[in-house]
């Protein structure tokens, strides 16, 4: 049997911010689709079911685990948004230079965290 060439894989490629942000974009999108949809449907169902069901929802979402879920969802939203904007810029043909691509790959998750902190600071100060 003839030797077939191997495709480059993680043994050959070095990790780079571009690889990390691509994986993070997929993970945050899946998290928003699964967890975000579940929380949204629970919230809508509780809202439609009356005061007691809504109080149960609020009670669960204001526990430490509920706060982690809500902050995690908002972080996933902002991180996904920032990396989506990065992908949009790449789709129009800009930002392929190595330094620019690397800089935006690092800036996207940092901006996601900053926007999440700002979002919760605004919510908690009102």
Spatial distance between the Cα atoms of 97 and 76, rounded to a whole number of angstroms:
27
Query: Which residues touch 108 (CB under 8 Å, ≥6 apart)?
Result: 21, 79, 82, 83, 85, 86
87 is in an annotated binding site: no
Residue numbering of the annotated binding site for heme: 80
Residue numbering of the annotated binding site: 80
């Amino acid at each position: 049997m003839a030797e077939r060439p191997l495709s480059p894989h993680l043994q050959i490629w070095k990790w780079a911010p571009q690889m990390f942000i691509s994986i993070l974009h997929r993970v945050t999108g899946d998290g928003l689709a699964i967890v975000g949809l579940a929380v949204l449907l629970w919230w809508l169902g509780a809202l439609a079911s009356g005061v007691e069901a809504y109080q149960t929802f609020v009670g669960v979402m204001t526990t430490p685990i509920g706060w982690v879920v809500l902050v995690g969802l908002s972080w996933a939203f902002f991180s996904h948004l920032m990396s989506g904007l990065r992908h949009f810029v790449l789709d129009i043909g800009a930002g392929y230079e190595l330094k620019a691509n690397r800089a935006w790959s690092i800036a996207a998750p940092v901006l996601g965290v900053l926007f999440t902190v700002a979002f919760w600071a605004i919510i908690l100060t009102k």
